[in-house]
Amino acid sequence: VSDILANAALGFGIALSWNNLLFCLIGVTLGTAIGVLPGLGPAATIALLLPITYRMDAVASLILLAGIYYGAMYGGSITSILVKVPGEGASVITCLDGYAMARKGRAGAALGLSAVGSFIAGIIGTVGVFLLGPPLASVALAFGPAEYAALVVVGLVLVTHVAQSTPLASLLMIAAGLLLATLGVDPIYGTERFTFGQLDLFDGVPVAILAMGVFGVAELLAVASSRGGAPAPIYPPGQVRELLPSREEWRESAPAIARGTGLGFFLGLLPGGGALIASFASYVIEKRLSPHPERFGQGAPAGVAGPESANNAAAQAAFVPLLSLGIPANVVMGVMMGGLLIQGIQPGPRLLATRPDLYWAVICSMLIGNVMLIILNVPLISIFVQLLRIPFRGAIALDHPVLRHRGVLAAQQRFRCRINDRLRCRRLAAASGEVRSGPAGPRFRPRRHPGALGPPGAACRARLARHLRAAPDRGGAARLGDAAAAVAGAEVALG
């Protein structure tokens, strides 16, 4: 207990300095903003801001970047609820009941449940990281390829329960999603599959872009083609008190928030798209446990509160493998790890011994950041809800982020290609024992064309296989589950 208190004192002592508080505030505000902007994810934003952090203190820079990440989890649900365009992959499932609630005039309640659920999950998740992070990190490391494959299968089975149509239709969409997930460069041989020679397809189909297409464009076309000419009107209430969730909605959502937090925290510890699987799993569990499962998809509060809590808890837990083991759980963490390496800090088991100030300050800043986020977000609910008052015809320019950000998405996708090229090269180089770590991180020459790597020789393949057994490519498995989940979600959305 004395150790915990000492660590907390150390962490809060650093995180509560004016300088770090300011960077935390900037981070969570920026994160919320980029979560609202569909297409500009935290990975791209953090990568864009990396050069700014070169001259900053390592603790301040990590507090800033972490704030952007979990702030984006808050913001990602806003557009899911208001315009059915998820800002983040992990907010895809919120489109179902969040948007349905908005259509019933309960947009404020949905935003409130999302914000409060995220806050509770963020606080509990951070406390969990504080108390259990280092011991649980070793448990997460015990997950091998077989366990990950089982996890993906569980995810796919869960998706069949999300759909409201027949199980056959769900399975058909899952198969379509799995096929979509094979697009791109084969991770072992480097062969292009179904790319038509297009550079944009080399890295596959990013789940956020896919979700924006199937939800955003589909909704746009559905509204445009509705025989009545316009959808049923939405009347957001004028009083702030009426914007917040009712007592009944709180009662229904409280257990969902608790379950989503626990589930999200556990799945977030596992490297590889934990937030997305956690949000889907939470939705399915709530639907199964609810006495009124037929309300899911029609605006059930638990269908918003559970997944939003799960994805935020997973976002907090994702820092455990990065800081404790030096394993980035997802692309965002990979970029953050790059930032740390540039600062000359090697994340991993020795970080706690060599830089306890950084470790505990970042974790304590998450608690502070979550408090800042709830203070920022709740007053903004009434402003966000006013967006629904804009007539549909005029709102197209607003509701058209899918169109307007397509160019940004293309640029972002190319950027991800480059990032993944580097990660692949690093992995291959690591397998061949060619990585030389230094203050500036691993040095290698990324190849422009991943296919140019060609099929590796037997010795290299054996080394690669050994390396993959030690640190399996979670990205492929996660992408596989992501695409299937998104397409299955689309199947639900399209009825």
Binding site for other proteins (CB under 8 A): 37, 40, 44-45, 48, 100, 103, 164-166, 168-169, 171-172, 175-176, 178-179, 182, 186, 188-189, 191, 193-194, 217, 220-222, 224-229, 231-232, 298, 393-394, 396-398, 400, 403-404, 406-408, 410-411, 455, 458, 495
Closer residue to other proteins, CB minimum distance, 219 or 252: 219
Closer residue to other proteins, CB minimum distance, 54 or 189: 189
Q: CA-to-CA distance for 365 and 296, rounded, in angstroms? A: 35
Closer residue to other proteins, CB minimum distance, 222 or 435: 222
CB of 41: closest distance to other proteins in angstroms? 12
Closer residue to other proteins, CB minimum distance, 194 or 240: 194
- H or E element, residue 192: strand 192-193
CB of 97: closest distance to other proteins in angstroms? 12
b/e per residue 29-56 (b: at least 16 CB within 10 A): bbbbbbbbbbbbbbbbbbbebbeebeeb
Closer residue to other proteins, CB minimum distance, 6 or 224: 224
Closer residue to other proteins, CB minimum distance, 10 or 222: 222
CB of 469: closest distance to other proteins in angstroms? 14
CB of 374: closest distance to other proteins in angstroms? 25
- H or E element, residue 3: helix 2-15
Q: CA-to-CA distance for 192 and 189, rounded, in angstroms? A: 9
Q: CA-to-CA distance for 409 and 40, rounded, in angstroms? A: 7
Closer residue to other proteins, CB minimum distance, 138 or 191: 191
CB of 178: closest distance to other proteins in angstroms? 5
Please list the residues that pair with 192 across neighbouring strands.
185
- H or E element, residue 447: none
Q: CA-to-CA distance for 481 and 474, rounded, in angstroms? A: 11
CB of 25: closest distance to other proteins in angstroms? 17
Please list, in sequence order, all residues whose beta carbon lies within 8 angstroms of the beta carbon of residue 376, skipping any fewer than 6 positions away.
28, 29, 32
Cβ atoms of residues 275 and 228 within 8 Å: no
CB of 110: closest distance to other proteins in angstroms? 15
Closer residue to other proteins, CB minimum distance, 108 or 177: 177
- DSSP-based helix, strand, coil % in the chain, nearest 5: 75, 0, 25
CB of 79: closest distance to other proteins in angstroms? 14
Closer residue to other proteins, CB minimum distance, 217 or 378: 217
Measured CA to CA in angstroms, residue 193 lies from 85, 196, 486 at distances of 29, 8, 20
CB of 239: closest distance to other proteins in angstroms? 23
Coil vs helix vs strand at 185: strand
Give which of 404, 417, 426 is closest to 471, Cα–Cα: 426
Give which of 170, 114, 19 is closest to 377, Cα–Cα: 114
Give which of 257, 299, 337, 384 is closest to 62, Cα–Cα: 337
